[in-house]
Structures are given as C-alpha cells and as structure tokens.
C-alpha cells in the first residue's frame, strides 16, 4: 500500500467533513503524518483502520463512504490529475468501460507501487456490462465501492447517462452492473489529450 491512498482519504475527509473531525479521527487512531506521504510505502493496515475509524465516527456504512471517496477523486478539481488520467482510457464512456481491464496496469505505469485489484468486463447485452473486481486485499479493504463512485463521476464527466448497481460480493470478487442508457446524454466535461499538465 502507498501513502498516496491515505492522502486521498485525507483530502476527501478534510474537504467533506472539515479539519477538526479529521484531526479527531487520526488522533484517536494514533496515525501520524508519515502515513500520508505520497510515494512512500505504508502498512495496508493503516488504510483499513482509517476507513473503519472514519465510518464509525460518521456513523456511515464503509461502502457508502468509499463510494463517496471514488466520486470525490474524479469530480474534485483538487484531484484533476486522477480524472485526466482516467479520461485517457477512452474517447467515450463505452470505450472507457472497455479500458477498465487495463486500469491496474495503467495505475502501475503511473506509480509502480500502486496495486489495484484485477478488473474484468463482461458484455451482458446491449448497453449492459458486468464489472468484476477481484477480492479484497489482505487488510480487508474493498475497491468495488470506490470504483462504483468513480464510474458514477466518470459517466458525468463523459456526459453519459448510466444506471449503476453494486450487485454484491463473495469471497473472490465484487460485481458492479452498468446500464449504459445514453452515451451522449449531456455535453460532459472537456478533455484535451495534451491539455493541462497541472498537478492538483
């Protein structure tokens, strides 16, 4: 695991719930600044404890919280880099969906230590896709809810109208179902291949 993930959680929590709550949670958990240093390795247990602690403090289900995190990562101007790097996946939302299987490889190219679970995409019928995410990591963290939030935000980004449903999980995988109702429903956000270079 990488401090980058923890930092993403930190930005999300600070922006959504304020600095005092964040301080309270990290102090209670005894997690110091070192855990939030991007590019630095970090014990995966820390990330799991952070998510648990935050969910408990907010009295929210972990899955809901992680879904919000996924949406935040794509939609917030502060993490524009994430949105842009994802947009390289395809010229429209359907192509983006097809690029999901490459996502772990793409993430590794961007940052060698970033280890995302394997993703498989299955066509179910016209405009219906099943996204399968490999099981949770050793610390019990699940990527499915985060991806669900990201897909929601990416659909907005492309201007696509979609129905997304978390279909549950078992020991080996999580399943998200995507109904692509209208690929060009709205204008979406602009994306230039060689556009901004600005980091968040």
Partner 1 sequence: MTGGAPLTRAQAVMLDRFCPMHVVIGPTGHVIGCGPTLARIVAPRAVAGARFLELFELTRPRAVQDMATLRALDGARLRLRLRARPRYALKGQLSVLPPGDGDGGMMDGGAMDGGAMVVDLAFGMSVVEAVRDFGLSGGDFAVTDLATEMLYLLEAKTVAMEESRRLNRRLEDARHAAQEQAMTDTLTGLRNRRAFDALLARAVQAGDRFALLHLDLDFFKQVNDTHGHAAGDLVLRAAARRMLSVVRAHDVIARVGGDEFAVLLPGIDSAGTVSRVARRLIAALEEPVTDGAQCFRISASIGATLSRDRPGRTPAAILEGADRALYAAKAAGRGRHRLDAGQAAGPAARDAPGPAGTAEPGAAAQARAAVPHGPVATEAEGARVAQGVAMRSR
Choose one: 23-31, 102-110, 123-131, 155-163; the region binding partner 1 (CB under 8 A).
Answer: 102-110
Q: Which of 28, 36, 31 is nearest to 56 (CA)?
A: 28
| Residue 179 lies near partner 1 (rule: CB under 8 A) | no
Distance CA 58, CA 52 (A): 10
Question: Of 81 and 175, which CB lies nearer to partner 1 in the complex structure?
Answer: 81
Distance CA 38, CA 98 (A): 29
35-54 residues in contact with partner 1 (CB under 8 A) are 37-40
Facing residues of 174 across strands? 133, 169
CB of 64 to partner 1, least distance (A): 28
| Residue 88 lies near partner 1 (rule: CB under 8 A) | yes
Neighbour tally for 14: CB within 10 Å: 14
User: 3-class DSSP state for residue 112?
Assistant: coil
CB of 183 to partner 1, least distance (A): 14
CB of 102 to partner 1, least distance (A): 10
| Residue 111 lies near partner 1 (rule: CB under 8 A) | yes
Q: Cα–Cα–Cα angle for 110, 199, 103, nearest 5°? A: 30
The structure tokens listed for 181 are 């109702």
Report the interface residues with partner 1, using CB under 8 A: 4, 37-40, 81, 84-85, 88, 90-91, 106, 109-111, 192-195, 197, 199
């Amino acid at each position: 695991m990488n401090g980058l993930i923890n930092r993403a959680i930190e930005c999300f929590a600070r922006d959504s719930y304020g600095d005092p709550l964040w301080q309270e949670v990290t102090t209670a958990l005894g997690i110091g600044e070192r855990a939030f240093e991007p590019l630095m390795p970090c014990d995966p247990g820390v990330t799991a404890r952070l998510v648990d602690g935050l969910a408990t403090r907010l009295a929210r289900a972990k899955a809901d919280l992680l879904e919000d995190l996924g949406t935040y990562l794509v939609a917030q101007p502060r993490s524009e880099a994430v949105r842009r790097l994802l947009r390289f996946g395809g010229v429209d939302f359907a192509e983006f969906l097809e690029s999901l299987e490459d996502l772990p490889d793409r993430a590794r190219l961007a940052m060698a230590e970033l280890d995302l679970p394997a993703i498989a995409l299955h066509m179910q019928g016209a405009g219906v896709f099943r996204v399968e995410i490999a099981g949770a990591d050793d610390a019990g963290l699940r990527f499915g809810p985060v991806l669900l939030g990201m897909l929601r935000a990416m659909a907005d980004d492309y201007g696509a109208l979609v129905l997304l449903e978390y279909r549950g999980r078992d020991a080996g995988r999580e399943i998200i179902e995507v109904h692509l109702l209208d690929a060009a429903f709205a204008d979406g956000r602009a994306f230039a291949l060689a556009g901004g270079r600005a980091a968040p």
